[in-house]
């Protein structure tokens, strides 16, 4: 690629500012997920919440505690709700439009929040958490799908990358609101952060009234004219010839994909070269849980309280703010470093941070201010490293590695497996960290330090380098059974077509 292509990139970015802004608003569904995860993590250490759903515990640093049973259900029911939504999405397949899926997520969000605010017993809390998990189970994937199918190919990566940023931003706001509401005490201290969750589904429900469905969805329904109108509204393009060419490209890709999937069965994922690709995709999805990020995001405030860290909400807020810089560096990091080396080294560093937190707490027995400061500092480094390397790389690998003809089946079943593993993790974690059971507190990080090192070893032995390879080239490499460590140097027969060249050829055809 020559230097004269850079103005093209900048001009395309400016020309597509309308769809970029729309996708930023749609990505608020990811913001909602991040906000909820952080806010609920904070509730577990808020006296106002524990006065209703917890019990008096003089040995606890704040004089109150939450039982292991309640703690495990309010966390794990979110994953269970997400799994239910994944099953509904798989069963409905193409019949459920992107807008209807997002509206359904907004409706379930309203219902769940109202239930948790209006009913102050464990049954209402559990039902609300299950429904909120279902809400996020629709909002998160349909947000990504809407952005993916609306954005131009040249900007698809950066636009979809806003999802990770919005999730982290939502988590930061969740802890921020908890921090400023906690001093009020009583039920209002947690009901205000919960009530604020109405804002995103209300805004999105109204926004979707004025937006079309995605062009690709209309093409799958045979409604090409609606697809053209959707592109015109989403991207502000008025050139009829260009609109027709865009729809023709989408239709061609859809028909090719439909042909690839003809006669495909789930059992094909476990045959020949596809077995290796399926196992790698499953490993990448489970690897996201193995990093320990779900543990840190769901129990960070509670962990800091047990470790007697002063101002736990403030420190978690600082951690999330610094983590945002890691999210912003993820895109250039994945451009300049290989997926494989980035994942190996980030996993090693994350493992070291986890072991450091566990060892520091073990040595001090939670009674040293220096150990508390070390716990906070190591957790900040861990969260930042995850945002730069592990999170984005594992997300990319999980979608890049499956074969084209089996991608939807592989990604779908891998997501379902990830929900199950996530549920198992959130269900068992309270047994380890809660003082009324094992009471390990930060010593639980020994397990996550080990899982990070296992992830690094698995990557070194089995994960191939996919950076710079087209999906067709990956097909060739897996068909030839090239070993993981030779992927980057192997000379393939299929040549990579430059995206800018493809864009210029299409524009020439329109003219």
Same domain membership, residue 282 and residue 176: no
Q: Which helix (H) or strand (E) holds 495?
A: none
pTM: 0.82
| pLDDT (0 to 100) of residue 5 | 46
Same domain membership, residue 371 and residue 485: yes
Same domain membership, residue 280 and residue 195: no
Whole-number CA gyration radius for the chain: 24
Same domain membership, residue 510 and residue 383: yes
With a cut of 50, list the residues of the chain below it in pLDDT. 1-7, 496-511
Q: Which two tokens stand for residue 181?
A: 């509401």
DSSP string, 39-66: HHHHHTT-HHHHHHHSEE-TTSTTSEE-
Q: Which two tokens stand for residue 260?
A: 């690839």
| pLDDT (0 to 100) of residue 497 | 42
| pLDDT (0 to 100) of residue 19 | 87
Q: Is residue 244 part of a domain?
A: no
| pLDDT (0 to 100) of residue 507 | 41
| pLDDT (0 to 100) of residue 91 | 77
Q: What is the DSSP letter of 493?
A: S
| pLDDT (0 to 100) of residue 490 | 78
Cα(251)–Cα(44) distance, integer angstroms: 50
| pLDDT (0 to 100) of residue 161 | 66
| pLDDT (0 to 100) of residue 268 | 83
Same domain membership, residue 462 and residue 375: yes
| pLDDT (0 to 100) of residue 338 | 83
The count of domains in the chain is 2
Cα(452)–Cα(457) distance, integer angstroms: 9
Cα(394)–Cα(421) distance, integer angstroms: 15
| pLDDT (0 to 100) of residue 2 | 41
For residue range 161-199, list pLDDT tens digits in order. Answer: 677 788 889 999 999 999 999 999 899 999 999 999 999
> CATH number of the domain that 456 lies in?
1.20.1250.20
| pLDDT (0 to 100) of residue 216 | 86
| pLDDT (0 to 100) of residue 462 | 93
| pLDDT (0 to 100) of residue 480 | 85
Q: What is the DSSP letter of 236?
A: -
Cα(249)–Cα(245) distance, integer angstroms: 6
Domain hosting residue 278, numbered range: 272-511
Same domain membership, residue 382 and residue 311: yes
Same domain membership, residue 300 and residue 168: no
């Amino acid at each position: 690629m020559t230097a004269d292509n850079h103005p093209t990139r900048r001009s395309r970015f400016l020309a597509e500012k309308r769809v970029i802004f729309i996708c930023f608003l749609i990505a608020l569904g990811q913001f909602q997920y991040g906000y909820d995860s952080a806010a609920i993590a904070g509730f577990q250490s808020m006296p106002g919440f524990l006065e209703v759903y917890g019990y008096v515990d003089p040995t606890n640093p704040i004089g109150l505690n939450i039982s292991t049973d309640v703690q495990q259900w309010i966390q794990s029911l979110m994953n269970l709700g997400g799994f239910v939504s994944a099953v509904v999405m798989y069963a409905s397949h193409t019949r459920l439009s992107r807008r209807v899926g997002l509206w359904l997520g907004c409706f379930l969000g309203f219902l769940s929040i109202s239930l948790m605010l209006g009913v102050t017993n464990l049954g209402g809390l559990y039902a609300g958490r299950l429904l909120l998990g279902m809400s996020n189970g629709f909002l998160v994937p349909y947000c990504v799908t809407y952005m993916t199918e609306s954005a131009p190919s040249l900007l698809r990566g950066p636009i979809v990358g806003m999802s990770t940023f919005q999730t982290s931003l939502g988590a930061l706001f969740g802890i921020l609101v908890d921090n400023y509401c906690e001093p009020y005490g009583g039920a209002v201290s947690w009901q205000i952060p919960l009530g604020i969750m109405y804002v995103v589904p209300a805004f999105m429900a109204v926004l979707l009234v004025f937006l079309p469905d995605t062009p690709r969805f209309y093409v799958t329904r045979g409604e090409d004219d609606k697809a053209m109108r959707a592109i015109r509204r989403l991207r502000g393009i008025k050139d009829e010839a260009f609109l027709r060419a865009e729809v023709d490209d989408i239709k061609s890709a859809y028909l090719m994909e439909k042909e690839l999937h003809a006669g495909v069965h789930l059992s094909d994922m476990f045959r020949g070269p596809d077995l290796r690709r399926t196992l790698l995709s499953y490993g990448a999805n489970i690897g996201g849980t193995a990093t320990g990020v779900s543990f840190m995001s769901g129990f960070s405030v509670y962990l800091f309280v047990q470790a007697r860290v002063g101002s736990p909400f403030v420190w978690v807020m600082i951690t999330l703010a610094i983590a945002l810089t890691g999210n912003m560096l993820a895109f250039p990091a994945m451009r300049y470093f290989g997926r494989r080396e980035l994942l190996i080294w980030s996993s090693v560093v994350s493992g070291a941070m986890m072991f450091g937190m566990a060892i520091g707490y073990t040595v001090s027995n939670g009674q040293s201010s220096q150990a508390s400061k070390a716990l906070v500092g190591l957790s900040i480094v861990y969260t930042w490293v995850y945002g730069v390397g592990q999170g984005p790389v594992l997300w990319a690998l999980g979608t890049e590695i499956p074969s084209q003809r089996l991608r939807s089946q592989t990604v779908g079943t891998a997501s379902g497996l990830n929900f199950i593993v996530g549920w198992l993790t959130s269900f068992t974690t309270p047994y380890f960290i809660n003082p009324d059971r094992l009471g390990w507190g930060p010593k639980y990080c020994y397990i996550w330090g080990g899982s990070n090192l296992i992830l690094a070893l698995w990557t070194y032995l089995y994960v191939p380098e996919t950076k710079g390879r087209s999906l067709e080239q990956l097909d060739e490499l897996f068909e030839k059974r090239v070993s993981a460590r030779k992927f980057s140097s192997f000379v393939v027969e299929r040549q990579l077509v430059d995206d800018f060249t493809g864009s210029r050829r299409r524009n020439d055809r329109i003219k």
